[in-house]
Amino acid sequence: MTRWGATFAGALDLRGHELAEEGFELIVCPSTPAEPRFLWGAGADMLRLLAEQTIDDSQLTADSAAVIHELEKMNLAAPTHSAEGATTTISRPWLLSVHHELVYALIAKVASQLEIEVLFIKGPALHVQGLRVREHSGDVDCWVRPGDDLLLAEAMRAWGWTPMYSPLTGTGVAHSLTLNPGGWGCAIDVHTRFPGMTIEPMRAFDRVRLSAEKWTFASREVDLPSTAVHAVIAALHDVRPIAGRPPSAVQRAGAQHALAAAGDDVVRAVEQLGATYVLRDLLQVTHPSVEIPPGEQPRDWAWRTTASGARRYAKAWMLVPWKQKPRVLLRLVWPQPGMAGAREHPTRPGAASVAARVRRLSAALVRFIRGL
């Protein structure tokens, strides 16, 4: 006797969606690496049933058994030892892009398999929480503990994403790791901390988890920050300097909107996450009756606010742990294949390639000295 259950990573019921006009009833991400599949007719009906309860062989007709075996070939159904029915109801889409919604579910599934705790941040949830006007995002952002970003990034290779490592990956200086998409068309940013927070990244992650809320993406439950905490994250993202450039008026307005919309709880969230130094002036506008202490400058703010490229790199370099400096220096001069900024020269002979790298180092040193 065999019992059957659904095994998808994520699934969406398309009835009532514009894709239903093309005859599709479900879009499903299989449990093993593959691109999403559309289902309709008997296949869609059976997967909905298997999602809600396991089914015994004795309950199946010959036609139903054939449908289940086709779902098994697609890694959407599998034998199970549990006699208890599942309680999953395949959810309707709520994001503008069904593929993006499946990516949320897929990341949560992969992270769970690796026993990695993950928070999903920014994106369309900010719009639903009233913290952002814009509804859609072009990528998916998540937050994990330092070190877990590398595990998750490597695991996502099998699904078609390519990690864009940099020489500063894993040093605590870089705050996120981008995974470039393959056929999915949706990049992933894996964060390990946020520029503008003064508390240690592990503590920040744990504090955000304490107030996390459960949301459903593509039939899978995931964790997102509370409205107040999410407002802090959104505001920090908007106002962080990039290559020494301060935020634009539009970006500051977006940050101010998020802080105002989050209500009085946001003041406590700013203090708990050590973001007072960066967000104090905005809080004085959105919450004028609250006394806001000056706060401590974040360790990474000095290099982020430096306009000179050479000086900026020098300040960032000082934050790299001593035991990691040799590796970072080597990767700066000799980027590995697949590393952000690496350039391949397959037709160059070895000596010419070495000479090119020496010229690259010399040019970098000249820029550095001129910037001092």
For residue 84, pLDDT over 60 is answered with no
- Per-residue pLDDT of 95-141, as tens digits, reads 999 999 999 999 999 999 999 999 999 999 999 999 999 988 889 99
Q: What is the pLDDT of residue 87?
A: 60
Say if strands 139-143 and 187-191 run parallel, antiparallel, or are unpaired: parallel
* 143 membership: H or E segment, kind and range: strand 139-143
Distance (Å) of CA 52 to CA 11, 91, 196: 13, 12, 44
Distance (Å, whole) CA 115 – CA 7:
18
- Per-residue pLDDT of 142-199, as tens digits, reads 999 999 999 999 999 999 999 998 877 777 788 899 999 988 999 999 999 999 999 9
For residue 278, pLDDT over 80 is answered with yes
